[in-house]
Amino acid sequence: MGLISVLWGIVAMLWMVLAFIPLLGWGNWFMIPFAVVGAIIAAIGIAITPREGRGRAKAGLVLNVVAIVVGAIRLSMGGGVL
């Protein structure tokens, strides 16, 4: 689960960077739910993994949460969220 969440977070971060390009900000509407699913996968990975092996799941959670926060800020600045 940890590896999947890290890969999911990397894709979400790349998608977030792509959504910074002008006229592609609509990509945040799809990236945020995608990153939420990745964060859920990471949380499940943290819950079921022994304490010593949680590093990847934690990294995936951080990547996905950062993508969610930046995407939400970007949408609110651009008027996408009222």
- Lowest-confidence range among 11-20, 35-44, 50-59, 73-82? 73-82
| pTM for the whole structure | 0.88
Q: Which of 44, 40, 48, 52 is nearest to 9 (CA)?
A: 40
List, for residues 46-55, the tens digit of each pLDDT value. Answer: 999 999 989 9
Task: Report the 3 state secondary structure along 38-72.
Answer: HHHHHHHHHHHCCHHHCHHHHHHHHHHHHHHHHHH
**Residue 61 has what pLDDT?**
95
> Could you read off the pLDDT of 13-26 as tens digits, one per residue?
999 999 888 888 88
The answer, yes or no, to whether residue 8 has pLDDT greater than 90, is yes
Q: Is the pLDDT of residue 82 over 60?
A: no
